Amino acid sequence: MNLNSDYWEQRYQNNDTTWDIGTISTPLKEYIDQLKDKSIKILIPGAGNGYEFEYLISKGFNNVFVLDFAQAPLDSISKRVSECNTNQLIKSDFFEHSGNYDLIIEQTFFCAIKPALRTAYVHKMESLLNQNGKIIGLLLQFPLTEIGPPFGGSKEEYSSLFQNSFKIKTLETAYNSIKPREGKELFFIFTKK
């Protein structure tokens, strides 16, 4: 299966978006609610319909960017979030994107890329973050499979994968996941070394 732009565009066109909960997830909302500096530069890769973006904009964060492979979710964001500028909506391959960010928010993107790309993902995240920049978000915890997306993983795998490039501040089962994802999500905060 080729998880390219056409694949994801087709999923959106067919409304085959079972990962989309229609709102920001509680763990991410609670993290955002404690952020004080609204000038930080934030990226949300593989943003899909971008509920995190919408929430950040509503809270006064204006230096926020979403990136997605498919055009349909970016169009959806543009229609819903009148305050956004078109330059905040980036249609691109994550691995080809360049920029520098203070915070990157992970929500169902990592689990949607092929496991063979995970090391490249870590290196790309490291390159996109400013000094002491952070990746925060949710990673799925269920046995790793080659059948996906989503592809699973474990706390041990994620720790091993990220520990050389990032200080692992938090990597714990989310206590505030939505019902269908209870026990299946790890909330994490990783700081660039």
Whole-angstrom distance between the N-terminal and C-terminal Cα of the chain? Answer: 35
Cβ 188 vs Cβ 137: under 8 Å:
yes
pLDDT computed for residue 179 by the predictor = 81
Cβ 25 vs Cβ 138: under 8 Å:
yes
Beta-bridge partners for 157: none
pLDDT computed for residue 161 by the predictor = 96
Tokens matching residue 3:
């998880």
Q: Which of 99, 61, 67 is nearest to 83 (CA)?
A: 61
In terms of Cβ atoms closer than 10 Å to its own Cβ (0-12, 13-18, 19+), residue 86 is: exposed
pLDDT computed for residue 12 by the predictor = 61
Tokens matching residue 120:
């490249």
Q: Which of 127, 114, 120, 106 is nearest to 171 (CA)?
A: 106
Q: Consecutive sets of 10 residues in the chain, 193 residues long: mean pLDDT of each?
A: 65 64 85 97 90 95 93 88 90 94 93 90 97 95 71 91 96 86 90 97
pLDDT computed for residue 22 by the predictor = 67
10 Å Cβ neighbour count for 48? 27
What DSSP string runs through 60-86? Answer: T--SEEEEES-HHHHHHHHHH-TT--G
pLDDT computed for residue 20 by the predictor = 63
Q: How many residues does the chain have?
A: 193
Q: Phi then psi for 191, rounded to 5 degrees?
A: -105, 135
What is d(CA 74, CA 54) in angstroms, rounded to the nearest whole number? 12
Crossing angle between the packed helical segments 51-58 and 71-80, to the nearest 10 degrees: 30
Cβ 129 vs Cβ 158: under 8 Å:
no
Residue 79 CA to chain centroid, in angstroms? Answer: 21
User: Which amino acid does the sequence have at 108?
Assistant: T
